[in-house]
Amino acid sequence: MSFFKKDGYGVPIVLAVGLHLAILLIGVVTINFSDDSLPAPKRPPIVHATVVDISKTIIGKREAEKKKEAQQQAEIAKQKELAAKKKAKELAERKAFEAQKKQLAQAKKAQEQAIRKAEAAAKAKEEAAAAKKKKEQEIARQKQLADQRAKEKASQKAAEEKKRQEEAKKKAQAAEEAKRQKELERQKQEIARKAEQERLAKEAARQAKAKAEAEKKAAQEAKLVQSISGLINNRIAQAWIRPPNARNNMKTKLQISFLPTGEVQNVQVVESSGDALFDQRAVNAARNMGVIRELSKVDPYVFERNFRNVVIIFNPQDLRN
């Protein structure tokens, strides 16, 4: 049980209770039992022993606090001692490490110095060998350059001679080519001249033919216009109704618009005769002259140019004086 642990208060409490019981027993034994003694009490005294938990008393609490404080102090001392030992150990290890590091650095430095000396000696040897080799190479290069310059000079001389010959050959070829080109150009010009003469002759013949065709066509067109114009005048004259006041030399100018079918589309008075009735009878005659079927057979170009809008002067000759 925890009450009787070595670091608990069970054993001291038991000892304290036993000590109190022993004192009480000794007091009872030393009492005088003679007749001169005081009369005994009617009832013998009864001793009640109670187990007290000292840890709950003030003394026990103080003892516990002291013990706890002593334990804490011992623990702190122990921690300090361990820390001091650890620090001393770390310091010793650091010193040993620094010493070893210093020793290694010195050894490394000595090794590097030895390596540098060896490298310097090797470098000096290599430089001497390289200088010797470079000198030998320079001598060989100078000799090679001299040989090369001699070869180049000979080659250049040969090339110049070859170039001179090639240039002379080219000049001869160029002269021959120029002569040939000149002859070709002369032939081309002659061919072009003949072709131009033929073209001009053909063009002149074409123009003459076109002119003849145009004149023929114009003559045909003029004849056709004259024929249809006469037909229109006759139709108007046939459809015209003479007014009572019509007199000689009365005339009116009309503009007649035709459709390609030959039908009259519109009639307008361009110049009046001075008599409204005479003008109106002329307009009515133009509108009532019927379809000019000959116009439907006319070429569209000719129709548009001559018969789309026809201007005529209506001047009947059978009027009274």
- In order of 39, 228, 237, 270, 285, the CA distances from 317 in angstroms are 210, 20, 10, 20, 16
Q: Which of 17-31, 123-137, 265-279 is the least confident region? A: 17-31
Average pLDDT over residues 126-143: 89
Query: Is residue 256 within 8 Å of 267, Cβ to Cβ?
Result: yes
- pLDDT score for 108: 87
Mind listing the pLDDT tens digit for each residue in 69-84? 888 889 899 898 899 9
Alpha carbon distance 312, 141 (integer Å): 115
The label of the residue with tokens 């290069």 reads 141
**Residue 191 is inside which H or E element, if any?**
helix 58-239
HEC secondary structure over 241-287: CCCCCCECCCCEEEEEEECCCCCEEEEEEEECCCCHHHHHHHHHHHH
Measured distance CA(208)–CA(221) in Å, rounded: 19
- CA–CA separation, 208 vs 139, rounded Å? 96
**Average pLDDT of the residues of the chain:** 83
Give the integer Cα–Cα distance in Å for 102 and 66. 52
Distances from the Cα of 51 to the Cαs of 11, 22, 44, 47, 55, in angstroms?
A: 12, 14, 22, 13, 12
Alpha-carbon distance 94 to 100, whole Å?
A: 10
Q: Is pLDDT of 255 > 90? A: yes
CB 267 within 8 A of CB 287: yes
pLDDT of residue 32: 52
- 309-314 β-sheet, strand order: 264-271, 252-258, 309-314
Which of the residue ranges 48-62, 206-220, 221-235, 260-274 has the most confident prediction, judged by mean pLDDT?
Answer: 260-274
Q: In this structure, are residues 77 and 83 in contact, taking their beta carbons and an 8 Å threshold?
A: no
174-233, pLDDT tens digit by residue?
999 999 999 999 999 999 999 999 999 999 998 898 888 888 888 888 888 888 888 888
